[in-house]
């Protein structure tokens, strides 16, 4: 087997999603293999691996090639965790593996992933890579879409680019959930979701490429009136998520998709909520706040 990384259908789809073949990621990688995948991530931003029957253990082991794992938040179901502390539970299942009811609070909170976002932008040190493994999928729907934020920056009108330079946003899950009308937070959650500051324009630490750092979690721009900031961020998001910058991933069981949260946004797409969709995510932590990155 030879490791190969190729653009997914570069003719009709954006160039930033690649497919990796010639590797079994359920077993330990050599240092060269890990380095080649990391190079592929830098080049593309989204990589797809097919037919990888990962367990939570092998998924964690593969993910650790790229850095430390984030602790999963929001996993608790009635005080119990369905998966381990390093696996974000991206499923519609309760602790007994039953599909969550329509009104279930956890389900309603998780509908926030339908909005464009970058994982953990609401944490002081946001995520580097996310790795999402499809264990059970519905018959139809439930795609995940990705937008290339480097292309968004490169094609932004120069005057808008100048306006973005140096701006700092505040990100919080309170802002993204407010957008879908989910507002019943406990005082403890409000404290936990206190806004954090992130630069609006990032420079990728390994490629030097610049990108817009947007997410539905971004709710204010420091020094701006809130309505003006929201309108501005909405316009930027519209620009960044034009279809020509978007790759839509149609899942098969045992796909693993890896994305670079520093260079892309993503969102989930709807599916029949009575069917099971069980996805397990590991998240490689970033190493610093965007405030500490080179501007
Ligand atoms: C995620 C996420 C989208 C999906 O795992 O971070 O946003 O389609 N998932 O489940
Ligand atoms: Mn996400």
**In ligand 1, which atom is closest to the CA atom of 117?**
7
Q: Can you tell me the distance from the alpha carbon of 26 to that of 62, in angstroms, rounded to the nearest whole number? A: 7
Q: What is the CATH number of domain 4-292?
A: 3.60.130.10
**In ligand 1, which atom is closest to the CA atom of 113?**
7
Q: Can you tell me the distance from the alpha carbon of 262 to that of 207, in angstroms, rounded to the nearest whole number? A: 11
Protein residue closest via CA to atom 3 of ligand 1: 268
How far, in Å, is the centroid of ligand 2 from the Cα of 123?
13
Protein residue closest via CA to atom 7 of ligand 1: 113
Protein residue closest via CA to atom 8 of ligand 1: 268
- The pLDDT, as a whole number, for residue 34 is 98
Q: Can you tell me the distance from the alpha carbon of 220 to that of 228, in angstroms, rounded to the nearest whole number? A: 9
Distances (CA, A) of 121 to 141, 219, 277: 26, 12, 24
Where is average pLDDT lowest: 31-40, 101-110, 183-192, 226-235? 183-192
pLDDT for 59-80, tens place per residue?
Answer: 999 999 999 999 987 655 556 6
Report whether pLDDT(12) > 70.
no
Q: Which residue bears the tokens 């190079």?
A: 39
pLDDT for 205-253, tens place per residue?
Answer: 999 999 999 999 999 999 999 999 999 999 999 999 999 999 999 999 9
- The pLDDT, as a whole number, for residue 47 is 98
Q: Can you tell me the distance from the alpha carbon of 228 to that of 188, in angstroms, rounded to the nearest whole number? A: 29
CB distance 20 to 49 below 8 Å: yes
For the chain, the domains span 4-292
Encoded tokens for 172: 């919080």
- The pLDDT, as a whole number, for residue 183 is 87
pLDDT for 136-180, tens place per residue?
Answer: 999 999 999 999 999 999 999 999 999 999 999 999 999 999 999
pLDDT for 251-267, tens place per residue?
Answer: 999 999 999 999 999 99
CB distance 54 to 133 below 8 Å: yes
**In ligand 1, which atom is closest to the CA atom of 279?**
10
Instruction: Write 53-58 long-range contacts (CB < 8 A, 24+).
Output: 53/26, 53/254, 54/25, 54/26, 54/133, 54/254, 54/256, 54/280, 55/26, 56/83, 56/84, 56/87, 56/280, 58/25, 58/26, 58/27
The model carries a pTM of 0.96
**In ligand 1, which atom is closest to the CA atom of 142?**
8
Q: Are strands 76-77 and 278-285 parallel, antiparallel or unpaired?
A: unpaired
- The pLDDT, as a whole number, for residue 77 is 54
**Residue 45's pLDDT band (cuts 50, 70, 90):** very high
Pocket of ligand 1 (CB under 6 A): 90, 113, 119, 130, 132, 144, 266, 268, 279, 281
Determine the length of the chain.
295
- The pLDDT, as a whole number, for residue 250 is 97
Q: With pLDDT > 70 as the criterion, what percentage of the chain qualifies?
A: 96
Encoded tokens for 292: 């500490």
| SS3 category, 201 | strand
Please name the residue ranges forming H helices in the chain: 31-44, 56-63, 105-110, 149-154, 158-164, 173-179, 187-192, 226-240
Pocket test for ligand 1, best of 86, 246, 266 (most atoms within 8 A of CB): 266
Encoded tokens for 44: 């593309």
Distances (CA, A) of 120 to 34, 70, 146, 196, 285: 24, 9, 16, 10, 9
How far, in Å, is the centroid of ligand 2 from the Cα of 281?
9
How far, in Å, is the centroid of ligand 1 from the Cα of 225?
31
């Amino acid at each position: 087997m030879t490791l190969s990384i190729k653009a997914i259908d570069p003719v009709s789809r954006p160039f930033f999603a690649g497919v990796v073949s010639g590797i079994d990621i359920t077993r330990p990688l050599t240092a060269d293999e890990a380095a080649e995948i990391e190079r592929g991530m830098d080049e593309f931003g989204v990589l797809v691996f097919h037919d990888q029957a990962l367990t939570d253990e092998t998924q964690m082991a593969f993910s650790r090639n790229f850095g430390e794992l984030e602790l999963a938040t929001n996993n608790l179901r009635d005080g119990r965790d369905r998966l381990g502390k390093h696996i974000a539970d991206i499923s519609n299942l309760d602790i007994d593996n039953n599909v969550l009811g329509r009104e279930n609070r956890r389900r309603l909170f998780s509908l926030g992933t339908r909005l464009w976002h970058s994982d953990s932008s609401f944490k002081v040190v946001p995520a580097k890579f996310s790795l999402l493994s499809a264990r059970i999928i519905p018959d139809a729907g439930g795609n995940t879409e990705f937008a290339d934020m480097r292309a968004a920056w490169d094609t932004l009108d120069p005057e808008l680019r100048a306006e973005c330079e140096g701006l700092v946003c505040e990100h919080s899950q309170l802002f993204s959930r407010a957008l879908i009308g989910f507002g019943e937070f406990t005082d403890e959650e409000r404290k936990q979701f206190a806004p954090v500051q992130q630069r609006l324009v990032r420079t990728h630490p390994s490629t030097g490429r610049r990108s817009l750092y947007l997410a539905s979690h971004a709710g204010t721009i420091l020094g701006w009136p809130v309505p003006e900031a929201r309108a501005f961020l909405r316009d930027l998001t519209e620009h960044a998520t034009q279809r020509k910058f978007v790759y839509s991933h149609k899942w098969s069981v045992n796909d693993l998709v890896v994305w670079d949260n520093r260079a892309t946004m993503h969102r989930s797409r709807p599916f029949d909520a009575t069917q099971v969709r069980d996805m397990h995510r590991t998240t490689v932590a970033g190493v610093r706040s965007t405030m500490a990155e080179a501007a």
